[in-house]
Structure 1
Amino acid sequence: MDEEWSITRLAKASGVTVRTLRHYDAVGLLPADRLGAGGVRHYAAASVLRLQRILLLRDLGLGLSEIAAVVDEEKDAVEALRAHLTGLLAERRRVERLVRTVTATIAHLEGERDMALEDLFDGIDPARQAAHEAELVDRFGDGARQHIAESRRRTAGWDRARADEAVAEYEAVEDAAVELIEAGAAPDDPRAVELMDRQYRAVGAFWTPDRASFTGLGRMYADSPEFRARYDAKHPRLAEFLAAAMAAYAERRLD
C-alpha cells in the first residue's frame, strides 16, 4: 500500500465523498495525518486502514459515535478485521437465506413449485422486526400499534414490483435531500418543505401520520443507530436534515 493518500484519491478509492471525509476529520473520527499545499488533507496508510474499519462498522449498522468507540479501542488490526469478518459472514448467511426464500416464493407464485408455509419465513429475522415495532411504540405510544396494523393491511396485497417502487421512492427523496444539503439549503427552506411533502406521501403508502407522529418519525431517523447508519452512508448531515425538515413540514401542513 502507498505510504500516503490525498483526500481526493482516498475519496475516489473508498466511495466516500470528500465532504464526508472532512466531516470525519472535524469530529475526530478520522483525522488527516498532515495538511499539504492549499490545506489539502493527506492520509497515511494506517489512516486508510482505519477508514476501512469505519466503513465496515458502518455497513454493520453502527452509528458514528459507536464506531468511534470501537475503533479507538482496537489495538490489533488483524483481530479487529477477524471480528468484522465474523459479523459479515453471519450477515451473508442471513442474506443468502433470504435470497433463497424470495426466489422460492416467486417460483411458488408462478406455479412452478409448491412451498410449505414455514418456508415463507426462512431467513426473516422476527426479532429485528419486533425491535423496530417496539421502538415505534415507545416513541409514539399505543397509537403506533394501529399504524403498524394499518401498514400490514395496506401492504398485504403488494407484489415485488410494488414493494420495489415504494423503496425507490424513499431512495429518490433521500437523494434529493442530499442535493439540497450540498446546495446549502436549510431544513425549513421552501424546497425542503416541498420535498417533505413527497416524503409524507411515501410514508402514506404504508400509514397516515399526523403532525406528532411525522415529526417523531423524523426524529427516529436521526436517533436510531440502524437508520442513522443508513443515512450517514449517503451524507453525514442527512439524518439530522430529514428530521428537521420533516418537523418543519409537519408544523406548517399537518394537524
Structure 2
Amino acid sequence: MSTLEESELDIAAVSRISGVTSRTLRHYDAIGLLPPARTGHDGRRHYGQAELLRLQHILVLRELGTPLPTIQSIVDTDDEATTIALLREHRRGLERERDRFATLAATVANTIESLEQGVAMTSDDILNGFDHDKYAPEARERWGAPVVDRAYTQWRDLGPDAQSAHLAEHEAISEAIAALASSGADPAGASAQEIVGRHFAWVSRLWTPNAESYTGLGQMYVDDERFRASYDKYGAGTAEFLRDAMAEYAKQQLD
C-alpha cells in the first residue's frame, strides 16, 4: 500500500470523526461538492488530507448558514491566497458566534440567579445576546453598511460586562425620560437636555451621529412602531418626548 493510501480514511471513518452521515458524503460526491480521493474496487470512497481540508471548509460554511451552491463556489476557488482570506473571514464569523454564545451563557446565568433571588430583570437583560442580525439588512439600508458594521464591531468588542452596563444605562435614561414626559416637562428644558446628553453619549458609544442623523434617529423612535413601543412601555408619550428633546439637543449642541 502506498503512503497516500495509508493516510486515507474510508467513508465510514470520515463519517465517524466528522459527524457527517455517509449518505450526506455520498450526496456531496454526487453534486461535485466533495469528491473522494479515490473509490475502491468495492465502491467504498476514500478521502485524503486535501479532501478532509475541503470538508472542514464546507462544515465551517454550513455552521455559518451558507447555502450549498454558495459553498461550492467558495471551496472551488483555486487561488490559495483567496482561500486563506476566506478562511480568515470564516474564523472571524465563528469568533463572533463564540462571543455571542458567551453572552447568552451569561444571560442564562443571570436569569437563574434572578429567579433564585426573586429579583426582576429588565426585558433588555432577559434578551441580551440573542441574534439581532435579522435587522441588519434594514439597518444597513437606513444608515449605510460602514456605520452598521462599525457599530456591530464596537458592540462585540465591549465584552459582556460593558454590554450589560450599556443596557443598564439605556434603561436608566428611558426611565428618566418617561418621568419627565409624564410630569409635563419642557423637552428643551435643562433637565431634559441633561438626560438627552446622556442619551447622545450612550448612542455615541457605538456610533457618533451628527445633528441631522441624531434628529432623524429621534424621529425614527416615533415613526417605527417597534421603537415607539420600546420607549412607550416606560410611559405613554416617552418616544415623542425623547424625539423632541433630541431635536433640541441637535440644534443646541451639534449644529
**Structure 1 length-normalised TM:** 0.47
| Larger Rg belongs to | 2
**Higher RCO by CA contacts (8 Å cutoff, separation 6 or greater):** 1
TM-score by length of 2: 0.47
